[in-house]
Structure 1
């Protein structure tokens, strides 16, 4: 089974930290098969595991960019709980849009520009 983008990020981080599925699973008190399932997309990625995996790599000096977003894409879900109604409507409307790749790229660039200004 092909790796998801989430799986690729996690696998790269494992390689960068010289962690095997076995050593990582032992530290996180789970099985290598479970972690492999998260990487390959054969298992949904629970939010608590996104946090555990992020903390695991952070403790080893590796920061994974947009891990929550990568997990949401791998899970084929976008959680909207906790968002305002306006945000929920934007997410729903955007998800069903017929934007071209060029328009989507423009949206992504605008969002990145807005997010960078907030920092």
Structure 2
């Protein structure tokens, strides 16, 4: 299934008259690897954001969309926990373990709390 990142890549190719192979060559990977990333079978490599940004001269709006698409398309995420205290580590691990058991209402509440804290509202 094509990820959001894959959809953006496909649009970039269409807008630039390119094939999957053309973009893969620019990113210095095989077509099958690029396809696997676009379809969510592999994580988007860390350096691709900057490379795509430069290769396709993305606007600030397009760059923001690409960054969000990469984050949304990740299969795995590595967290550096050394800067967190034990209580914070425990909270993050509990959330990761239990998120699938939360109902949509609880997820919405947590999302709202996090969005408010990003805006400095509490």
TM-score w.r.t. length of structure 2 = 0.65
* 2:110 maps to 1:115: no
* 2:90 maps to 1:89: yes
Task: Give aligned pairs, total.
Answer: 113
CA distance in 2, matches of 1:11, 1:83: 38
* 1:12 Cα deviation after fit: 4.2
* 1:105 Cα deviation after fit: 1.4
CA distance in 2, matches of 1:91, 1:54: 32
RMSD, aligned α-carbons: 3.0
Runs of 5+ unmatched residues, structure 1: none
* Larger of the two Rg values belongs to structure: 2
* 2:33 maps to 1:30: no
* 2:62 maps to 1:60: no
CA distance in 2, matches of 1:108, 1:18: 39
Runs of 5+ unmatched residues, structure 2: none
* 1:108 Cα deviation after fit: 1.4
8 Å contact from structure 1 (residues 54, 67) kept in 2: no
Which residue of 1 is the match for residue 48 of structure 2?
49
* 1:101 Cα deviation after fit: 0.9
CA shift digits 1:3-29 (9 cap, x unpaired): 234433443454455554233223222
Are residues 108 and 6 of structure 1, via their aligned partners in 2, closer, same or farther at CA, if it must alter by over 3 Å? farther
